[in-house]
Amino acid sequence: MATPVVRVDNVVKQYRKAAHAHRFLTLKSAIVGGNLFKALSPSEVFTALDGVSLDIARGETLGVIGSNGAGKSTLLKMIAGTAKPTTGKVTVDGKISALIELGAGFHPEISGRENVFINGIMLGLTRREVADRFDDIVSFAELEDFIDAPVKTYSSGMYMRLGFSVAIHIDPEVLLIDEVLAVGDEAFVHKCLDKIAEFKRRGKTILLVSHGLESVRRLCDRVIWIKDGSIEASGDPPRIIDAYLEWVALKEEGELAAGYERRSATAEIGTAADAPGAGGQPPVGDHSEGADGGESASAEGAGEPDGAGEPTCSGAASNEAPYESGRWGSQQVLIEQVRLLDAEGAQHYVFACGDPMTIELTLQANQEVDDFAVGIGVFNTDGVLCYGTNTDIERFEAAKLHGTATVRMEIPALNLIQGTYYLDLAVHRVDGYPYDYQRGLTRFRTTSRIADSGIVRLPHRWSFAGGIEWKKTPETDAKPTPVHKADREQP
């Protein structure tokens, strides 16, 4: 392997936590006590990086992933040299250019031309070198017509393009990129990606920090995953990204589980009269008081004489208030427990798109009823009913519900696109009068590698014939394995 161009050696970075007000006190003590440096030394610290060691070989493209606050940007700052490690050492061999904050150091009052020169010099070029590259810089930024206007008149896009263009024309040995690909319009992002690919071809070293896992997967030779200030894993991109996604799913599951505990603990069961749909009427379409209540939203459409057969979601999203969770009903029957199960019967809150899911309700009948239906509705965060059904619609005829009962609805393939979903779960009379109606108390997430859009993923397969060829197909790429298959024990 080539010699490392960047060497990070057991770096620890701590930030002081002390509040600002605290320091006003120390001014006096610093002067009076004559211990200024002591007063300024950290008292309460936050460790952003905790003993990170890393070698980056010449020509390597390294991706850095991790959740917010894990220490990715701190690591980048250490390598860029804009922050110094508390202990440990960072050595960089060669010129380094950081695409961290594009256009940092532009002065708004003076022209783009003058800013390019000053920015170039700040980034380590000589005046002459900037002059030689000036035309390239301007044309890459597509700012030929505006280069003599003051930078304050630029749109944020123009500003960023110019900043990116200057930084990339420094022609560094090592290029640091922090999330800059997340901003900018589509065309410019492509241009940047092309430029980065060109750098890669020319054997430069690139360090890419991104939440855009797709671009990390595509561009990087190696990925490190930073968690809580240290390197959790390092290696082959698909493997590390999968491990990371799994961890994210696990974390989300924990949060969703905790959220469910909290919500169901605090949600008081209102009587039927308290229901937004009020007065024993079917609780349909009641996402907001007085909104176009009715036809659209509820799975308990059974209560409506005619619309019973077809709960639809048309038009529901447009003018709805945010989904409000709650619980109401006459309490003759209670939904004691809700569990979302995977194929193996383990409880989860995060499911991979396309995986099986079972919704399990445990019912407790406080008194025997003979008129009942069990309904389920799945809403997305826009409040759109993605799917709703109940036992009455599907022509189950109720005979008797007493004691404890378990209801399971098995969904062989949960073809909802990636996102968070809320469940409406209800036991009610066929005419809609609710025994127990839980709105939005249960949530789950679906995850997907594919950024498809819409509401559901229609089961599909592509096939091609004739004069159509692909450089790459999903089959040749790392096969997107469902997150869910991994061994996750508990939420």
> What residues make contact with other proteins under the rule CB under 8 A?
15-16, 23-24, 27, 37, 40, 77, 80-84, 96, 98, 100-101, 104-105, 107, 109-110, 114, 117-118, 121-123, 126-127, 150
Q: What is the DSSP string of 99-156?
A: ESSTTTT--TTSBHHHHHHHHHHHTT--HHHHHHHHHHHHHHHT-TTTTTSBGGGS-H
Q: Give the shortest CB-173-to-other proteins separation in angstroms.
A: 14
Residue closer to other proteins (CB basis): 41 or 490? 41
How far is 165 from 159, CA to CA, in rounded Å?
A: 10
Q: Give the shortest CB-129-to-other proteins separation in angstroms.
A: 11
Burial pattern 44-63, b for ≥16 Cβ within 10 A else e, equals eeebbbeebebebebbbbbb
How far is 437 from 373, CA to CA, in rounded Å?
A: 12
Residue closer to other proteins (CB basis): 26 or 420? 26
Q: Give the shortest CB-20-to-other proteins separation in angstroms.
A: 9
Q: Give the shortest CB-101-to-other proteins separation in angstroms.
A: 4
Residue closer to other proteins (CB basis): 77 or 217? 77
Residue closer to other proteins (CB basis): 21 or 187? 21
How far is 260 from 240, CA to CA, in rounded Å?
A: 30
Which amino acid, 385?
L
Angle 398-401-402 from CA coordinates, rounded to 5°:
165
- The residues, any chain, with a CB within 8 Å of residue 486's CB and separated by 6 or more, are 246
Element (H, E) at 178: strand 174-178
Q: Give the shortest CB-74-to-other proteins separation in angstroms.
A: 11
Q: Give the shortest CB-107-to-other proteins separation in angstroms.
A: 6
Burial pattern 23-36, b for ≥16 Cβ within 10 A else e, equals eeebeeebeeeeee
Residue closer to other proteins (CB basis): 102 or 361? 102
The closest of 106, 7, 97, 94 to 53, measured between CA atoms, is 7
Residue closer to other proteins (CB basis): 169 or 449? 169
Element (H, E) at 76: helix 72-80
Tokens of 489: 């024990």
Residue closer to other proteins (CB basis): 22 or 485? 22
Q: Which long-range contacts (CB under 8 A, 24 or more apart) does 197-203 make?
A: 199/168, 199/175, 200/61, 203/58, 203/59
Q: Give the shortest CB-119-to-other proteins separation in angstroms.
A: 9
Residue closer to other proteins (CB basis): 104 or 182? 104
Q: Give the shortest CB-442-to-other proteins separation in angstroms.
A: 44
